[in-house]
Amino acid sequence: MSKDTEIDLKDVELNEMDPEKQPMTGDGPAAGSEKNGSVKLKVPDDEVKFTGLSKEELMRVAGTPGWVRLRWVLLVLFWLGWIGMLAGAIVIIVQAPRCKPLPEMGWWNEGPLYQISNLMAFSSDGIKGVEKKLESVNQLKVKGLVLGPFHTVQAEQPNSLHFKEIDPNHGTKEDLRILLDKAHKKGISVVLDMTPNYLGKEKWFSNAAVADVLEQLKDAAEYWLGVGVDGIKVPDLQTAVASSEWSMVQATIQGNRTNDEKKRALIGVVEGISALNVSLLLNTSGVDLILSDLLRTNVGGMERSKAIDTLMENSQFKLGWGLGAAKGDHLSKVVATPGLVRLYQLLLLTMPGTPVFTYGDEIGLQGSGSPTMLWDSEVETAEEAVNQTAEAERKERVACRRWFKTLSELRGKERSLLHGDYYPLQSSATSLAFLRLWDQSERYITAVNWATTPTTLTLTPRGQLELPKQAKVTLSTDPELKLNSMVDLNKVTLGPGQGVLLQFPLAA
């Protein structure tokens, strides 16, 4: 190759554009000389671009019979589809089961009440001690504290009665105001026990003194409600109602209620009367809640079931239940053995109405009179116990409190337990079983056996009510009935002093 030829080729190479700098279009060299990065596009000569119809063409087409029919068809299909969806939604709404309206309830129906009759036994700091232990009480999901009585009075001396004054040994009015404020922030209401002669024998001093005492109680109730107290508890209700002054007390506490304000509770206590007489008082006294000792005086399962049935004819939301609460006693003082404490916690927290406990019932507190509250059961300890017996007792208190807390939490969130209907299933001298249900919520069966021997229950509902063949164990004190196991309802066997809470859903 000649020198001139080489120079010419170099000129060509220098004049050529680098491949990566060439535009990616179809305007490059011929196919035989394509470089990397070049794309050749060939547009056929006969290709026609669609630019749509012009306005004039659209106007001409819109008036044709075919287009008019098509528009009508599309319009009819649209409305048919819309009407079909609307009809389907209506059918679903009509056929869907209606939710039962919730019953009207007071705050005292929303959880258990916790009585602290002896403030100094609960805490040596009196009212301040209650305020310090408020979080511990709140963990039990209680909705109300019933405090006192702690007004100033001398035994059997009506002239020494001062409802508006607090015994200095228990604290001051400012201590009570602080307690009220903190309790309300936690959603806990506070009721004052206004038993007039709480240091003496007769609660109202004498029958002759009842009218004068009730007049003082009326003024005191107005005063304490103004301070922020949420309710008043009166003893021996049948004696108070017999006085002409009772209506004034009732009007002071319950008067001028509106739907927007929190209701003030009027709680009455009755002892030693029949279920029928309790029912009569429910109709005539006008109290919001009546606490009786019927479960204590009726020790047989059949008698207890009959008492419940009698009172359920009235509003269940006016019934307060306790085993020793009417007298201010502890569960451990009433039950035959300490092991039955958890059984009665199960019974009270699943019955219709409001469960009422005395301080320490959550741990099975034992002792005569007003035993000092023990606070070692709030948390577990990892330390090795020196006294094995004392440590075993402490662990039992821990387990008892955990059981109480679990039951109280379950009652608060399950509608069947909170305000559901009550249906007796079986009762005997030493056993009781009943069903709680509400609308479409989960159903619960409580079965307890406080005998010293095992028993087998066949749960049979009354009337048209039907039960499934099996139910699931939700809570149990019986080691033979494991959690979440299934139990045949035709044959529920409970060990001595054992109880179980069973659960089953609404049948489809």
**Per-residue pLDDT tens for 361-396?**
999 999 888 999 999 876 555 555 568 888 889 999
Establish whether the linkage from the previous residue to 149 is cis, with ω within 30° of 0.
Answer: yes
CATH of region 423-504:
2.60.40.1180
Predicted pLDDT of residue 313:
74
Nearest to residue 431, comparing CAs of 484, 360, 499? 499
pLDDT at 257 over 80: no
pLDDT at 7 over 50: no
**Residues sharing a CB contact under 8 Å with residue 501, sequence separation 6 or more, in sequence order:** 346, 350, 407, 444, 445, 446, 473, 474, 475, 476
pLDDT at 226 over 90: yes
Confidence at 67, pLDDT banded by 50, 70, 90:
confident
pLDDT more than 90, % of the chain: 71
pLDDT in tens, 319-345: 999 999 999 999 999 998 888 999 999
Fold type of domain 108-418: TIM Barrel (3.20.20)
Cα 373 to chain centroid distance, Å, stands at 26
Q: Do the Cβ atoms of 79 and 71 come closer than 8 Å?
A: no
Q: How does strand 443-449 pair with strand 431-437?
A: antiparallel
More confident residue, 206 or 52: 206
**What one-letter code names the amino acid at 354?**
T
Q: Do the Cβ atoms of 317 and 422 come closer than 8 Å?
A: no
pTM: 0.81
pLDDT in tens, 478-507: 999 999 999 999 999 999 999 999 999 988
Query: Which of 38-52, 74-88, 408-422 comes out lowest in average pLDDT?
Result: 38-52
Backbone angles phi, psi at 361, to 5 degrees: -65, -25
